[in-house]
Structure 1
Amino acid sequence: MCMDHSYFQFLDSFYHVSIGTNMGNPLSPLISELFMSAFERKLKQENLLPRIWWRYVDDVFAIIKKDEIDSVLNVLNNRFDSIKFTCEKENDKCKLSFLDIELSTSVDNKIDIAIYHKPTDTLRTITSDSNCSMQHKLAAYHSMVHRLCRMKLSAQNYMTEYARIKQMAKINGFKGDLVDVLIKKHLDKINKFNLSTLFSQNTPEVERVRVGLPYIPQIMKKIKNKFREYNLTIVYTNQTKIMNLLGSTKDTIDSLHKSGIYAIQCPVCMCEYIGQTKRNISVRFREHCLCIKNKQGYRSALAFITCIEQRSFEYRHKQLTAGERDRRRAQIRRIRKLLYSEEQQRIESG
């Protein structure tokens, strides 16, 4: 049922997804994995699955005899008309890239592993003089060193990747010993885990609350230590993004067709009714009008006010004051709006 009712909007038109799973649907990864698992199990039962078949999401590494590649590919593609597999074979140098590794066949018919880099790689990361926190600057190097220390590389491939990471750090303005310090840190962690027989007990951990703040180097260190005392973890954010500068590429939705916090003003006394809805405002206002017409004050606070105080709220006086998906934030916005409205009325009344 969830997959049969998949729709999306483009240029004021609605489309229905009739085949497959659409991007952005939370169920799509689960459904795709279940489908592929059943697909592989069926082939294995029929003895049609290659002996070496390692899959990661939608990328598969398989070892097949050269004269059987086309026949295996035909078997895979003849199962479903909507799914087609493609094949990438090893090149003339007996090398094949799979995910972020490069596999090659050695002279003694063993598989040699190396780190794969795209030809378009520019060796660029966040530079050392960038206005970012140090943990963000070193994130890429921690990832590369983590992979370097844990993958089973030959001595030659290890030194090749080590020299590449050192060159990358130098190009981006970091000190020459940065990579060595990170490698020592990761190796110590690995050795400690392998040699120690002591593991952390199931003690209850104090849950830390994350707080998003812009990164300001002059004060962040003091604020971070102070927040840690109250079990608060600072997450650095940056609103200066290309997306924010260019704006959204989606179709603009009229404010009266959005959900959120809305205000309806009385044209006589200029008082405002402030409400909140998860549906679009036009639908909610029609419900208010119906309740006013049928004098159902128990179903609508606006209808109750209209009937008791004899006020007239007109359709043209409604407006969206804030659109908020998060329920907690929406409640805070609504309370602030109510307090501001009451304060404004108190000032006007003297």
Structure 2
Amino acid sequence: MDDLLDNTFMSLKENFNIDIKFIVKYVDDIFAIIKRNDADIILKTLNEYHPKLQFTMESENNLRIPFLDVMIHRKSNAILLDWYSKPTSSGRLINYLSSQPLKYKINTARNLIHKVLTISHQQFRDTNIKKINKILVSNNYPHHLIQSLIKQKTSEINNEIKRVPDTKTPNDNKRYYSVTYIPRFYQQFNDDINTNNLNVTLAYRSNCTLSSIFTKTKTPLPPQQQSNVVYEITCKGSKNENCNKVYIGTTKRALGVRLSEHEADIKKNKQSTALAQHIQDSGHTADLANVKILDKERREKARFTIESLRILQKREKTINKKEDTDDIAAAYMLCL
């Protein structure tokens, strides 16, 4: 976007003698003060930068125009700002009756009040206070709490209280922990921390999330398309002999690719793996169609460790080579 604007400004200046006096940008949203006659030329120049980047333009209506969370009013030679929310906004916040720490709910209300009242000019304050009340009441916030928080903020604004910058150096030894929120018990945690002067901050999380309510709607990948896995292949034996031994391996690539390599090694009588060697020596058949995924792990070293642990776990049935487990202690099987 910065490169686009730099090139556009240069082109407008050189080709059309257009100089934009004021412009601000947030990601791909742009607000600019321009002459009406230059609007079409500016829009065309922006859209010529790249065929896949096409802008739309919105002009002021009744001397006002929205930009992000702000409604910009043009009054004589001055600009007044007001809080703006889209008509589709639900106004949904953390509900006051939800199972969350009280301080989270209070901070949610305080942040909304701070944003609305600091954005907007004083002449819009009364209207916006009514909007704040409506939003917080619809989220079950008590009337007395709403009025108290609004009074605190308006008092700050009216008295022009300026906060003294915090000159304290951050404490690098401070520790942060995420813990499950349990009503009636979380306050005891905080009291114990404060009483013992522990340099700890707790962030509370809820176990009752949307993912725990709704079933998974995404279609799972078939085993052959999954990657970063530890897998198990069973030997089917032969017509006259049952085997049921297993080979355990791991792959970073799609499992189907690795199985194709196992199949090719067996057909070409290669002994590159313990599985191929076992099939050739015994005349058995590997059940490549019913491979089983034991674990998934993106980190390569951790995945190799899990593979070794799985081999140890089934050491009486595996056909893997002994050196596959030389670098792992059997005590770590408790981790599985």
State the TM-score, normalizing by the size of structure 1.
Answer: 0.67
- Following superposition of structure 1 onto structure 2, how do residues 117-196 of structure 1 map, counting pairs within 5 Å? 117-134=85-102, 136-138=104-106, 140-148=108-116, 150-151=118-119, 153-182=120-149, 184=152, 194=162, 196=164
Distance 1:34 1:307 in 2: 64
Deviations 1:292-337 (A, max 9, x none): 63223xxx46557778999864423422234444668867865775
Residue 25 of structure 1 aligns with which residue?
Answer: none
Cα–Cα, structure 1 residues 332 and 231, in superposed 2: closer, same or farther, change >3 Å? farther
Cα–Cα, structure 1 residues 227 and 97, in superposed 2: closer, same or farther, change >3 Å? same
Distance 2:19 2:226 in 1: 51
Aligned residues: 303
Residue 69 (str. 1) matches residue 69 (str. 2): no
Residue 217 of structure 1 aligns with which residue?
Answer: 183
Residue 348 of structure 1 aligns with which residue?
Answer: none
What letter matches 1:84 in structure 2? Q
Residue 50 of structure 1 aligns with which residue?
Answer: 20
Residue 24 of structure 1 aligns with which residue?
Answer: none
Residue 12 of structure 1 aligns with which residue?
Answer: none
Residue 258 of structure 2 aligns with which residue?
Answer: 284
> Equivalent pairs: percent with the same residue?
24
Residue 69 of structure 2 aligns with which residue?
Answer: 100
Cα–Cα, structure 1 residues 131 and 337, in superposed 2: closer, same or farther, change >3 Å? farther
Residue 328 of structure 2 aligns with which residue?
Answer: none
Shift of 1:101: 0.6
Shift of 1:269: 4.2
Distance 2:172 2:278 in 1: 50
Q: 1:315 aligns with which of 288, 306, 309?
A: 288
Q: Give the structure with higher Rg (CA).
A: 2
Deviations 1:166-202 (A, max 9, x none): 23222322222334554538987xx99945365122x
Deviations 1:236-280 (A, max 9, x none): 14464269725335x653212211221122334434333332211
For the 8 Å contact 1:43–1:49, the answer to whether it is kept is: no
Secondary structure class of the residue paired with 1:177:
helix
Residue 266 of structure 1 aligns with which residue?
Answer: 235
Residue 81 of structure 1 aligns with which residue?
Answer: 51
- Relative contact order: is structure 1 or structure 2 higher (C-alpha 8 Å, sep ≥ 6)? 2
Residue 245 (str. 1) matches residue 202 (str. 2): no
Cα–Cα, structure 1 residues 65 and 232, in superposed 2: closer, same or farther, change >3 Å? closer
Secondary structure class of the residue paired with 1:114:
strand
Secondary structure class of the residue paired with 1:217:
coil
Distance 2:201 2:247 in 1: 37
What letter matches 1:36 in structure 2? L
Distance 1:284 1:186 in 2: 66
Shift of 1:86: 1.5
Distance 1:230 1:308 in 2: 64
Q: 1:111 aligns with which of 67, 79, 86?
A: 79
For the 8 Å contact 1:266–1:314, the answer to whether it is kept is: yes
Cα–Cα, structure 1 residues 233 and 337, in superposed 2: closer, same or farther, change >3 Å? farther
Distance 2:283 2:140 in 1: 72
Gaps of 5+ in 1: 1-32, 346-350
Distance 1:337 1:186 in 2: 64
Residue 249 of structure 2 aligns with which residue?
Answer: 275
Cα–Cα, structure 1 residues 168 and 311, in superposed 2: closer, same or farther, change >3 Å? same
Residue 329 of structure 2 aligns with which residue?
Answer: none
For the 8 Å contact 1:224–1:234, the answer to whether it is kept is: no
What letter matches 1:177 in structure 2? H
What letter matches 2:35 in structure 1? K
For the 8 Å contact 2:173–2:199, the answer to whether it is kept is: no
Shift of 1:104: 0.8
Distance 1:328 1:181 in 2: 56
Residue 295 (str. 1) matches residue 271 (str. 2): yes
Cα–Cα, structure 1 residues 157 and 330, in superposed 2: closer, same or farther, change >3 Å? farther
Secondary structure class of the residue paired with 1:294:
coil
For the 8 Å contact 1:257–1:280, the answer to whether it is kept is: yes
Tell me which moved more, 164-173 or 192-201.
192-201
Distance 1:257 1:120 in 2: 40
